């Protein structure tokens, strides 16, 4: 009974991981094991025997190195149920984001991050709580944080051999590419420009995707105060990323003098 329970748990674990998105299967260093690589979702080690049985039963389909879940493995849904499910899980909208130094229009899932959820909120006068510049700044910081591989590794690096000594090394500087190093430098400059008082909430919400309520609980802040601090931090961050646009919004006052219209100062 215990062995059957462990096998069922292993099968559910594989099915959940494969259902999360694109998955590739690789050979593992340990005998009787396989690696399932989910890219941004990480890599897990599974039993080769359990994986083979799922393929034979048709629960999952293997095409070369890529593994997908069989479409008919889930119970059939009506069209209305499918649309209702998609509407709950996805909130698509078109926003302006930064890519390779250029601003482009892209379709994003606003339910994916706290910034996307704040984009839907309105102020008392009906204006969006976050401006597009503030949203772009937060997404740009998140993109550089991800490109720079600053996220801590939550498990062992099963792709590296034991002899190489790199399984527990995490994201060492020697292993980074030039693009990752450049992204880290951009993050450091952005954090320095915002300042230590506001940078923490930016990293928690924009990069680690923590909810506003969780940030308030961890920092002991009053209720509904995190979004105000976040908006202030995003405003400073957007001025760092787009100084020219910020200068156009707040132009310096013109110099006044008491001369007439054709007045010209005398050169000495």
For 72-108, the pLDDT digits (tens) are 444 444 444 444 444 444 555 565 655 566 666 666 5
* C-alpha span between 34 and 27 (Å, rounded): 5
Q: What pLDDT score was predicted for residue 96?
A: 60
Q: What pLDDT score was predicted for residue 82?
A: 45
pLDDT of 248 > 90? The answer is no
- Per the CB < 8 A criterion, the answer to whether 130 and 231 are in contact is yes
Q: Whole-number mean pLDDT of the chain?
A: 77
- For residue 238, give the H/E element and its range: helix 226-241
**In terms of C-beta density within 10 A (0-12 exposed, 13-18 middle, 19 or more buried), how is residue 71 classed?**
exposed
Higher pLDDT residue, 130 or 159? 130
- Per the CB < 8 A criterion, the answer to whether 35 and 45 are in contact is yes
Q: Which residues of 228-251 are buried (b: 16+ CB within 10 A; e: fewer)?
A: ebbeebbbbbbbbbbeeeeeeeee
The domains of the chain are located at 2-73, 113-249
Q: What pLDDT score was predicted for residue 154?
A: 53
What is the Rg, in whole angstroms, of the alpha carbon atoms belonging to the chain? 26
The helix/strand/coil state of 146 is: helix
Q: What pLDDT score was predicted for residue 238?
A: 94
pLDDT of 25 > 80? The answer is yes
Q: What pLDDT score was predicted for residue 63?
A: 82
Six-digit token pair at 154?
């939550």
| Crossing angle (nearest 10°) for helices 226-241 and 212-219 | 110
* Range scoring the smallest mean pLDDT among 7-16, 24-33, 234-243, 256-265: 256-265
- Residue 119: other Cβ atoms inside 10 A: 21
Residue given tokens 């999952």 in the structure block: 60
Per-range mean pLDDT, top range of 155-164, 207-216, 230-239:
230-239
Residues β-bridged to residue 44: 36
Question: In sequence order, what E strands does 164-228 have?
Answer: none
Q: Tell me, what DSSP letter sits at residue 71?
A: G
Q: What pLDDT score was predicted for residue 84?
A: 46
Q: Tell me, what DSSP letter sits at residue 197?
A: H
């Amino acid at each position: 009974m215990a062995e059957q329970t462990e096998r069922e748990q292993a099968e559910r674990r594989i099915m959940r991981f494969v259902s999360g998105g694109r998955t590739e299967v690789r050979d593992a260093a340990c005998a009787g094991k396989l690696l399932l690589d989910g890219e941004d979702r990480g890599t897990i080690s599974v039993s080769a025997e359990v994986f083979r049985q799922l393929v034979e039963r048709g629960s999952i389909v293997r095409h070369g190195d890529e593994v997908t879940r069989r479409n008919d493995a889930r119970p059939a849904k009506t069209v209305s149920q499918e649309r209702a499910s998609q509407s709950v899980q996805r909130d698509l909208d078109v926003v302006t984001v930064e890519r390779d130094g250029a601003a482009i229009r892209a379709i994003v899932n606003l339910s994916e991050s706290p910034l996307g959820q704040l984009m839907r909120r309105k102020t008392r006068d009906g204006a969006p709580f976050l401006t597009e510049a503030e949203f772009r700044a937060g997404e740009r910081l998140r993109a550089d944080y991800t490109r720079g591989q600053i996220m801590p590794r939550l498990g062992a690096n099963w792709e590296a051999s034991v002899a190489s000594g790199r399984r527990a090394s995490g994201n060492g500087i020697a292993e980074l590419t030039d693009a990752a190093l450049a992204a880290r430098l951009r993050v450091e400059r952005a954090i320095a420009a915002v300042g230590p008082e506001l940078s923490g909430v930016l990293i928690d919400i924009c990069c680690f995707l923590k909810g506003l309520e969780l940030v308030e609980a961890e920092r002991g802040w009053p209720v509904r105060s995190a979004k105000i601090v976040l908006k202030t931090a995003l405003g400073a961050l957007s001025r760092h990323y787009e100084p020219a646009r910020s200068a156009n919004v707040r132009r310096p006052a013109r110099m006044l003098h008491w001369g007439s219209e054709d007045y010209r100062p005398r050169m000495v």
